[in-house]
Amino acid sequence: MSMLDPRRLLHMKPFVFFTLILLIKSTLAYFVIFDGGPSWTILVTEIPFVWLLFCVIEWFATKKKLALYMVVNFIVTAILFAAIMYYKYFGIIVTYHALEQVNQVTAVKDSVFSLLAPYYLFIFLDIFIIGFVLFRKKRAQVWKTMSMKKLNMKVVTSLFVLSLALILISILPNRASMNEIVKAEEMGILNYELYTIFAREEIPYIAPKDINQQAINTLKGIQEPVVSQYWDAAKGKNVIILQLEAFQNFLIGLSIDGHEVTPNMNKLAKENFYFPHFYQQVGQGNTSDAEFVVNTSFYTPPRGAATVVYANKQLPSLPKLMSQNGYKTATFHTNFVNFWNRDQLYKALGFDRYYDQEFFGQEDTVFFGPSDEQLYKKTSAELEKISQSGQPFYSQLISMTAHHPFSIPESKYKMTLPDRYEGTFVGDYIRAQNYADYAIGLFIKDLQERGLWDKSVILIYGDHLGLPIYSLTSDDKALMEEIYGHEYGFTDMINIPLIIASPGITSSKVFEQIGAQTDILPTIANLTGVSLKDHIHFGQDLLNQTSNLLPERYYLPSGSIITDNELFIPGTGFQDGTHYPLDRKLEENSVATSDQYNRALELLNYSDSYVKQLPDRK
């Protein structure tokens, strides 16, 4: 009779049985999440956590002991499964803070299921088997009888003390690690989850009187120019911001077997101001965080979505600035406004009006709302009405059809992909973005026909990445390497485009400096001649600055920064961090320094301190 014979397993004590089961599950999680995979350290990180719980069961439970073991098994399994799934998209370890996203997760269930590799479900296999066994009364009675036998209490107490000691040894020395992945691997996933529940914010807030623009600029390493180029160049023009769903920069100029993927975006980039070294700065709120960052020039909070954490604040914002300078303001999104708490965000930002699915209706619905074609068609007509007041307008449009998992209906296909792309995640992504580009072409034509194009300055950027490295199969990675000519990496993943187009102002020009979403507010302010005096902002005018320092949060470990030449990702701290060159030729002494790293962390603290101490909205 083999060790794995069900009859022998039934005669195992639950303490031993569930220890083996959870050891196997922890091993699976380590295979998915950590580069090195599992090692013997699981025995001293993950297992003591479950032993601690099992010892408590052995102390206090009698008749319900088996049921309690099964409850613990299910809870730990759920935690490990959540860690796997969250990592597959975000590249970070899930914590209890993600519970704030539960409503959003149910709304994007197709995206969640698309990340699910079939073998992940093996993590639940034992639960179904045990359930089946317990339905068979004879077998169930054998196991229940075995589980009721108490273990030696001296052994249980010794294991409890040993487990607690190992947990503390795993957690306490590793609390200072900056990189959450490193921290979770060193502590153990389960210990890391326990640590995050009881950990408290250790960085003290900076007093409001000490937060000023000069201090922020000094941390960023920039000075305000004596004479600003393009100052007031678009004064009185309408401002249209188009935020593209999951649009990455590699799509610009991409041709597959001789066919352009994004011909309209290519034309815009070729004929106007194009920033190819532009990066996302979103947090847990993804698209809604991009809206927050662009409209405030603040960083996202360290935990949670900005739309949830900061929506109760009196936020200084771009809509408020533009209103003060005679602009009407509006935002357009085809989903319902309460998704990601946008109804509160838009009030905090000060938009005059928002347009959501109630305005756009249910025609031509894809994923969560009407298609990009419907968004642009109805928005352009509404913008024409707004413009008839004689006042310029500031508007933000949020596209959505090219949303993860990118499985748009065949009626939206606008290109035929080569066979090697069919049935792949990358192929679906490219096809969805090809449709998004097609819709942009219709929007531009509509604006031109309505006479709005010549009267406006248009900024187009991606909200966040679409192809997380962590989600790609080997076939997908091979396709991305074919596209890039090198292995798809972190610097490629978070790179989104920015295009500024305005007839009579912009011309064919590529700006090589790096930038990010916090930089959009000051850039628009410069173009429209809106003063930022006494208006705190963490971005910079991209038309007048050539150097930048960009702190990153989410999708990359805390403490990650982008300098003019590279992406730096810390380990436990700066010294054991990893340097990833950007896609430009590195100059001498171009590696990120500890001074830049510390200044970037200080910038985050300045932003957190400033926004958290703003007055609450009444």
pLDDT for 6:
47
> Cα–Cα distance between 438 and 447 in angstroms, integer?
15
> Cα–Cα distance between 230 and 413 in angstroms, integer?
40
Calculate ∠ Cα 398-402-404, nearest 5°: 110
User: Taking the alpha carbons of 590, 595, 597, 602 in that order, is the dihedral positive or negative?
Assistant: negative
Q: Could you tell me the pTM of the whole model?
A: 0.90
Mean pLDDT by 10 residues, the chain (618 residues): 46 82 92 84 92 91 81 92 85 76 53 60 79 63 63 89 95 87 92 88 85 97 92 97 98 96 98 98 91 98 90 96 97 91 94 96 89 97 95 97 92 94 96 98 98 97 94 94 94 97 96 97 98 96 97 90 95 91 66 94 96 93
The interaxial angle of helices 65-90 and 189-198, nearest 10 deg, is 90
pLDDT for 148:
65
CA–centroid distance for 160 within its chain? 39
User: Taking the alpha carbons of 372, 378, 384, 389 in that order, is the dihedral positive or negative?
Assistant: negative
> Cα–Cα distance between 567 and 592 in angstroms, integer?
8
pLDDT for 35:
82
The interaxial angle of helices 180-187 and 189-198, nearest 10 deg, is 110
| Count of Cβ atoms closer than 10 Å to residue 225 Cβ | 13
Residues 6+ apart with CB under 8 A from 183: 174, 175, 177, 192, 572
pLDDT for 32:
87
Q: What φ, ψ does residue 38 adopt, rounded to 5°?
A: -75, 160
Q: Report how far apart, in Å, the C-alpha atoms of 608 and of each of 96, 125, 205 are.
A: 20, 43, 8
Residue 333 β-bridge partners:
398
**CB-based burial of residue 210 (10 Å sphere; 0-12 exposed, 13-18 middle, 19+ buried)?**
exposed
Residue pointed to by tokens 């959505």? 400
Residue pointed to by tokens 């990120």? 592
Token pair, residue 553, equals: 């949060």
> Cα–Cα distance between 555 and 493 in angstroms, integer?
9
In three state form, how does the secondary structure of 383-428 look?
HHHHHCCCCCEEEEEECCCCCCCCCCCHHHCCCCCCHHHCCCHHHH
Token pair, residue 387, equals: 């413009």
> Cα–Cα distance between 558 and 201 in angstroms, integer?
14
User: Taking the alpha carbons of 268, 230, 529, 512 in that order, is the dihedral positive or negative?
Assistant: positive
pLDDT for 175:
86
Peptide bond into 392 cis (omega under 30): no
| Count of Cβ atoms closer than 10 Å to residue 379 Cβ | 24
Token pair, residue 61, equals: 């439970």
CB 432 within 8 A of CB 278: no
The H or E element containing residue 139 is helix 137-148
The H or E element containing residue 255 is strand 255-256
Buried b (16+ CB within 10 A) or exposed e, 574-606: beebeeeebeeeeeeebebeeebbebbbbbbbb
* Nearest of 284, 311, 301, 286 to residue 98 by alpha carbon: 284
CB 50 within 8 A of CB 76: yes
DSSP designation for 567: E
pLDDT for 140:
59
